Amino acid sequence: MRSFTAVVNPAAGGDPAAKLIPVARRLREAGAEVAVEYSRSLEHAAELARAGAARGDAVIAAGGDGMVGGLAGALAGTGAAFGILPAGRGNDFARQLGLPQDPDRLAALLLAAEPRLVDAIQVVPDEGPARVVVGSVYAGVDSVANMHINRLTRLPGALAYYLGPLRAIATWRPVSYRITVDGRVHEERGYTVVTANSGFYGYGLHIAPDAAVDDGLLDVVVIRHAPKRLFFAVMRELPHGTHVRRPEIEVLRGRDVRVEADRELPFGGDGELLGTVPVRMRVLPGALRVLVDPA
């Protein structure tokens, strides 16, 4: 029987404490020990996760993509089992893994699933600390939108993820990018560069439909410059992943990616703003042991 340490982000938009209660009840009814810890910050959450892993517990991230990425950084390479309770506004990494929202199904998975080796991304900016991201790293109109979304904390997730991008696009000027993938340089002018481990970001947008979390590769999706009416057409196709057929989209693939820009530009990862470009991303193959449905 597994024992668990559930690390809760009380500030997450999806009320993780309330969503954890029925899952923890079912785990305990099955005979599992469950310790619930409330984090004060991502740094504190990482400390709690490392302490739980040191006791031999499977660690559960109860929160959104930011919490998942923060705990992934603490657990990468440790061999600890990692569970996810989707309880944020985006939950894009949980969506990629096909994790259930239903408490009964999720508790059964946490109790019985064998850990699956999953990749992560090491993110190293030229200025600022390195960290680990599980979903994607993005620099462009989406990272500017991320700034706006973070200011709309009082709004429901769907509305914030709608208004944030609209504000970013309204004032957007194209960026000239220098993208180096496994030593090969690509010069592009466009809206964004997304370096993806997971296929989803931005509240269910299927930005990298061919991305796999266990292939040891990163998918680099470039949205090239085009009139804004075409960009909105691309946006409408993003939930379905059909945008990659358009000539405005280029998809590169590699293990080591560096992104530079011709002006100061923020970059984000797992729903959090992390710094400004230039930034380097390297895949960490099989860095995490995640509890997911084997199917």
- Cα 4 from chain centroid? 23
Same domain, 49 and 148: no
Model confidence band, residue 103 (pLDDT cutoffs 50, 70, 90): very high
And the tokens for 172? 């957007």
pLDDT for position 156: 61
CATH of the domain at 231: 2.60.200.40
Please indicate, yes or no, if residue 295 is contained in any of the structural domains: no
Q: Looking at the 3D structure of the chain, how many domains does it have?
A: 2
For the chain, give the longest Cα–Cα distance. Answer: 59
pLDDT for position 171: 86
pLDDT higher than threshold 70 for residue 203: yes
Same domain, 169 and 274: yes
pTM, rounded to two decimals: 0.91
Same domain, 59 and 160: no
Q: Taking a C-beta distance cutoff of 8 angstroms, is the pair 219, 253 a contact?
A: yes
Please indicate, yes or no, if residue 294 is contained in any of the structural domains: no
Same domain, 98 and 136: no
Same domain, 169 and 273: yes
Same domain, 201 and 143: yes
Please indicate, yes or no, if residue 118 is contained in any of the structural domains: no
Same domain, 158 and 280: yes
- Rounded CA separation 6/254 (Å): 34
- Rounded CA separation 165/1 (Å): 45
Same domain, 95 and 128: no
CATH of the domain at 106: 3.40.50.10330
Mean pLDDT computed over 174-202: 97
Residues 222-273: tens digit of each pLDDT: 999 999 888 889 989 999 999 999 999 999 999 999 999 999 999 999 988 9
Same domain, 129 and 103: no
Residues 118-168: tens digit of each pLDDT: 999 999 999 999 999 999 999 999 999 888 877 766 666 667 777 777 788
pLDDT for position 89: 78
pLDDT for position 232: 87
Same domain, 99 and 237: no
Domain that holds residue 188: 123-287
Residues 24-76: tens digit of each pLDDT: 999 999 999 999 999 999 899 999 999 999 999 999 999 989 899 999 999 99
